Structure 1
Amino acid sequence: MLANLTGWHALLILAVILLLFGAAKLPALARSVGQSARVLKTEIRSGDTETAQPAAPGALANVQAPVDSATASRSTT
């Protein structure tokens, strides 16, 4: 679909965008697109780390806190 686009097509698309948004708004538009891409990239990376180390459903239920000897002696008396 995009294989038939040439340089003239790109220039025409850029001219239409310039007419629609105006020259003053183009830097703000580019900045917001860049920020959106940056947020998307960080969300994708954080999603990768969450799925890379999946926790078992009952993994936290089986964890016991270590008990020191002073706490153990108080609880048994």
Structure 2
Amino acid sequence: MFGNIGAPELLLIFLVVLLVFGAKRIPEIARGLGRGIREFKEATREISREISVDVDETPQIRAPQQGTPTARTTATPTQQPAAGSSQPSEPTQS
């Protein structure tokens, strides 16, 4: 219904706008529209940058690939006193 706007319809719309606003006001209106569109585009770019930064900062956990050797170490626990403890490292016999 509204998808078939041709040259005659656009010319009619332009003439109505010219009659309503006058020749002096049309450039001001066009500038205002241009500024509004520019600000909208800048805001959408800023939001998309913030989203991409948030996605880049999230930690990514990767599963180990098959066939990749992993280092396995077996540590033996050592007997060390807890921090701040006054007990000697070797037990004394009483």
TM-score range, shorter chain: 0.5 to 0.7
Larger radius of gyration: 2
Q: Which amino acid aligns with 2:36?
A: S
Identity across the alignment (%): 34
The 1-side partners of 2:35 and 2:4 are apart by 30
> Are residue 22 (structure 1) and residue 26 (structure 2) matched?
no
- The answer for unaligned runs of 5 or more in structure 2 is 59-94
1:12-66 deviation digits (Å, cap 9, x = unpaired) = 000111111110000110011111111111000000001112256xxxxxxxxxx
Q: Which amino acid aligns with 1:41?
A: K
TM-score normalised according to structure 2 size: 0.54
Please tell me the root mean square deviation across aligned C-alpha atoms, in Å: 1.4
After TM superposition, list the pairs within 5 Å mapping 1:1-77 onto structure 2.
1-54=1-54
- The answer for unaligned runs of 5 or more in structure 1 is 57-77
The 2-side partners of 1:51 and 1:27 are apart by 36
The 2-side partners of 1:3 and 1:32 are apart by 26
TM-score normalised according to structure 1 size: 0.65
The 1-side partners of 2:4 and 2:49 are apart by 39
Q: Which has the higher helix share?
A: 1
Structure with more contact order per residue of length (Cα contacts < 8 Å, sep ≥ 6) = 1
The 2-side partners of 1:4 and 1:31 are apart by 27
Aligned length: 56
